[in-house]
Amino acid sequence: MPTRSIRRILKVVQLDCVEDLEVHCTWNLATLGRFVLHLGRMGNLPWLLLWCIHVLPHTAPKQEEHCITQLTAQFPNLPHL
């Protein structure tokens, strides 16, 4: 599904009512990062499962860590595994 379609869906959904979310895709961290603001508005989300997220081969470990930190910072109440 194109990311444009996903953004359209996210615009009509009441994000603070989302209680369950699984992301199963072959996105890279940069693509997933485009949705961080939407994910951050999901205040009632008790957990988040990210599956098959790819890191580009030329991504430096510090850059990967920075992206993951930005993502998880949106969910301070979620347990981090």
Question: How would DSSP label each residue in the chain?
Answer: --HHHHHHHHHHS-GGG---EEEES--BHHHHHTTHHHHHT-TT---EEEES-B--TT--HHHHHHHHHHHHHT-TTSPP-
Its pTM surpasses 0.75: no
User: What is the per-residue pLDDT across 4-31, written as a single tens digit (0 to 9) for each?
Assistant: 898 899 899 999 998 888 877 777 777 7
Question: Is residue 77 predicted with pLDDT exceeding 70?
Answer: no
High-pLDDT (> 90) share of the chain, %: 10
pLDDT at 26: 74
**What integer is the mean pLDDT of 46-66?**
77
High-pLDDT (> 70) share of the chain, %: 89
